[in-house]
Amino acid sequence: MKVFKFGGASVKDAPSVKNVAEVIRQFCNHELVVIVSAMGKTTNALEELVRLHFEKGDWQTQLQAIKDFHFEISEGLFKAEHQVFDRLESIFEGIAEYINGANGKSYIEVYSEMVSQGELLSTRIIRNYLNENIHKTIWIDARNYVKTDYNYIDARVDWDMTRRNISEKIPVFTKDAIVITQGFIGSNGEGKTTTLGREGSDFSASIFATGLNAESVTVWKDVPGVMTADPNKMPDAKIIPKLSYTDASEMTYYGASIIHPRTIKPLAQNGIKLYVRPFTSPKELGTTIGADAAGKHPASFILKTKQVFVDFKVTDFAFIDEKKLSMIFNALDQLNIKINLMQNSAVSFSICIDKKFDKVEKLVARLSDSFNIEMRDNLEMLTVKGYDQVALDKIYTRKEVLLEQKSKDVYHLLYVPEKKHQRLGESA
Ligand code: ASP
Ligand code: MG
């Protein structure tokens, strides 16, 4: 059994969907479960729809644009009288009806129900196309399999129940059909839709693979594989052919956006290989992530934008002690904030965190009675994993560095980005 995952960029228009179908054709003699994301930037568009509803804006025009986008793609794939158009029509009617009746519902509940429609739409369209052109398929609703807690927008998986659902029912389907399902979505104990966090479809692929005890997961991407840097920012970036689970997981921790951070752990625990391959040239092998020690891989540059630096200074001429640190860590834990970098001195403790929702404001509000807090916004953090002097020489000195840290294998630099757009590796 193989699990494939196709992200939004791989199904952004009709020719892309045809390309995905051709990739699948080459593997349709295998037992296959295919996880698909929403098409193109649909998730963003649906988030905007939800925002407009809550701010009493014109959500109807936004919904029409999303509908037009999906109809246009479908017109490039099906004949005018195809039944898929009725199906889509009824999904869009359902969306409008839901929003009209959503007053009084919480933001996060409406968010998950509406944003999940992107994946439900894309899998309907793709399923129909594959059925007619490539192979028999079975469409399943991932919400009936992936069971989660009540955190609507960053839901935690109930592994026991989810694994049971998947392992008991899905292998029956894959005997003579390709199973098509949605990434990113699940449901809670009341059967209401939950979502696994933005870009969560990779994680879905790993959930299904675990339940199926699959031999591998392949994430088909618009890049040749895992690269040593973002090729748009560093033209001499190279593909890394082989990575260990540990190295890959560390790279996602530092901000490598190629794979969702929660994807690797379940695969590593079950010894399931992860391939990252280009959907534009499916013959290429891309990157293989597995248990084997892959040796020292080349220095990799990982850039995280939208970073915030927060410095907590003691107010009472005392030192930063364990009590004070534990206050800070408690607040971080309760707000579910991950520290990307930290540093302490005698009288202060500084952290670098992501700017996400209103979490930074909430953190400051909680601790401002106990500390003098200073903040710097709009920063970038560059991590070089497996660095050597040659790699560090590629980083030109920026105007203002807030924090620099080196450990044996990893180098971090937190800085104010230059206004003029310069690429990493270019001399100033
Ligand atoms: N469609 C969702 C998103 O854009 C999930 C995913 O693409 O992985 O965040
Ligand atoms: Mg996406």
pLDDT score for 369: 93
Q: Is the C-beta atom of 201 inside 6 A of ligand 1?
A: yes
Q: Enumerate residues 6+ apart whose C-beta is below 8 A from 166.
A: 145, 207, 208, 210, 211, 212
How far is ligand 2, taken at its centre, from the CA of residue 8, in Å?
A: 5
How far is ligand 2, taken at its centre, from the CA of residue 43, in Å?
A: 7
Q: What is the CATH number of the domain that holds 75?
A: 3.40.1160.10
Q: Is the C-beta atom of 184 inside 6 A of ligand 1?
A: yes
- Is residue 276 a part of any domain in this protein? no
Domain termination site, one of 222, 250, 282:
222
How far is ligand 2, taken at its centre, from the CA of residue 127, in Å?
A: 18
- Is residue 272 a part of any domain in this protein? no
Q: Which residue of 11, 36, 122, 199 sits with most ligand 1 atoms within 8 Å of its CB, as the best mutation to test the pocket?
A: 199
Q: Is the C-beta atom of 200 inside 6 A of ligand 1?
A: yes
Burial class (CB in 10 A: 0-12, 13-18, 19+), 288: buried
In a shared domain, residues 344 and 214: no
Residues of the chain with confidence (pLDDT) below 70: 293-294, 397-399, 419-428
* Residue listed under structure tokens 């752990």: 265
pLDDT score for 421: 47
- Is residue 235 a part of any domain in this protein? no
Q: Taken in order 228, 231, 236, 240, is the CA torsion positive or negative?
A: positive
Query: How many residues are listed for the chain in this entry?
Result: 428
The C-alpha atoms of residue 204 and residue 199 are separated, in whole angstroms, by 10
How far is ligand 1, taken at its centre, from the CA of residue 201, in Å?
A: 6
Closest residue by CA, ligand 1 atom 7: 199
pLDDT score for 233: 83
pLDDT score for 419: 66
Number of domains forming the structure of the chain: 2
Provide the whole-model pTM: 0.89
- Is residue 420 a part of any domain in this protein? no
pLDDT score for 427: 42
Domain termination site, one of 222, 242, 274:
222
- Is residue 6 a part of any domain in this protein? yes
In a shared domain, residues 35 and 176: yes
- Is residue 366 a part of any domain in this protein? yes
Closest residue by CA, ligand 1 atom 2: 199
Closest residue by CA, ligand 1 atom 5: 199
The C-alpha atoms of residue 255 and residue 83 are separated, in whole angstroms, by 43
**Ligand 1 atom with least separation from CA of 198:** 9
Q: What is the CATH number of the domain that holds 337?
A: 3.30.2130.10
Residue 380 is part of which domain span? 300-415
pLDDT score for 399: 67
pLDDT score for 194: 98
In a shared domain, residues 208 and 351: no
- Is residue 387 a part of any domain in this protein? yes
Q: Is the C-beta atom of 118 inside 6 A of ligand 1?
A: yes
- Is residue 398 a part of any domain in this protein? yes
In a shared domain, residues 60 and 166: yes
Closest residue by CA, ligand 1 atom 3: 199
Domain termination site, one of 157, 190, 222:
222
